[in-house]
Amino acid sequence: MAHSKPLIILAVFAALAQPAAAQAPEGDVPSRWGLLAGAGAFVTPKYSGDDNYRVLALPFLRASYGDDFYVSIPEGANYEFYKKDGLTLKAKAGIAFPREEDNKSIFAISGAPTDELRGLGDLNASVELGGALDYEFGPLTISAGLRRGIGGHGSFVGDASVSMTKVFKTPGPPIAVILSPNIKIGEASLTQAYYGITPEQSLASGLPEFAAGGGIYSVGVNAITFVPTSRSSAFILYASLRELTGSAANSPLVRQRGDTTQSAVGLFWVKAFGQDARNAEKLVTGR
């Protein structure tokens, strides 16, 4: 989707270490604040449904307090208010980034803006508020979330996934791999905002009119590989492959100017500080 947030992958550095309580020297009370800071490059379609790609250079900043709350750019805020017997309930707030008609991005370092969105108008950013649940059993985590956009697309959007985590022991630090099949769901107003063509847009863009319906609009899989470079830093390799379905796949924007198959790959480096550094060190050293 045009407002997908690929940098959520960087939170895996803290997520893998969260269950491990950091140990402080006797008599010392460690701060519960943590910080992750990093940057990387990401190769992604120029818009959701496009068959042309560009490279983005992206920063990342994530602050956390304890094991229950974090806020980041660009993920937004996440608060875990219930945890018991493998079930976690979360409140979430985030931003669906805008899609601009001129397709320009201040983060683009290669790939000229496309003119294929001309005539479709700008889609403003949307603040998304909602919640999610995770259920863990062994190496598997089942997740589902639902959010409502305020402004921008102004619609309900949901997602569901099953994630499997595997940590491989090596002569050096362990390497963690997370594989996550997933689906994305939206109501008709959401898919219409990104994939529909109104009569006015048809006249301005040359694309035929198209009224989008709701339902599952994307099915895919994400893969994340976590490679520590020190006790508090790591490289993270991200790759995704997804297939647009339903109205998204049938949109004239996708069929005439793009492709239903969407892929992305990114390489990031992240450094942990404070509580996150203590948790990361326990993950890396096993102590």
Is residue 105 situated within a structural domain? yes
pLDDT confidence of residue 83: 94
The pLDDT-based confidence of 173 (bands split at 50, 70, 90) is confident
Is residue 163 situated within a structural domain? yes
Q: Which long-range contacts (CB under 8 A, 24 or more apart) does 141-145 make?
A: 141/165, 145/90, 145/92
- Mean of pLDDT over the chain: 88
d(CA 143, CA 88): 9
Is residue 1 situated within a structural domain? no
The pLDDT-based confidence of 55 (bands split at 50, 70, 90) is very high
Considering only CA atoms, which of 225, 235, 230 is closest in space to residue 284?
230
Give the residue, 23 or 161, on which the prediction is more confident.
Answer: 161
- The one-letter amino acid at 240: S
Give the residue, 5 or 252, on which the prediction is more confident.
Answer: 252
Domain that holds residue 186: 6-23+31-285
CA atoms within 13 A on the CB side of 70: 22
Is residue 222 situated within a structural domain? yes
pLDDT confidence of residue 285: 63
Domain count, the chain: 1
Is residue 51 situated within a structural domain? yes
The pLDDT-based confidence of 184 (bands split at 50, 70, 90) is very high
Q: Could you give phi then psi for residue 159, rounded to 5 degrees?
A: -155, 160
The pLDDT-based confidence of 72 (bands split at 50, 70, 90) is confident
Is residue 178 situated within a structural domain? yes
The pLDDT-based confidence of 93 (bands split at 50, 70, 90) is very high
Is residue 72 situated within a structural domain? yes
Is residue 134 situated within a structural domain? yes
pLDDT, tens digit (0-9, with 9 covering 90-100), for 96-147: 989 999 999 989 999 899 999 999 999 999 999 999 999 998 889 999 999 9
pTM: 0.87
pLDDT, tens digit (0-9, with 9 covering 90-100), for 197-227: 999 999 999 999 999 999 999 999 999 998 9
In percent, how much of the chain has pLDDT > 70?
87
In percent, how much of the chain has pLDDT > 90?
70
Mean pLDDT of 174-197: 96
Q: Which CATH number does the domain housing residue 16 bear?
A: 2.40.230
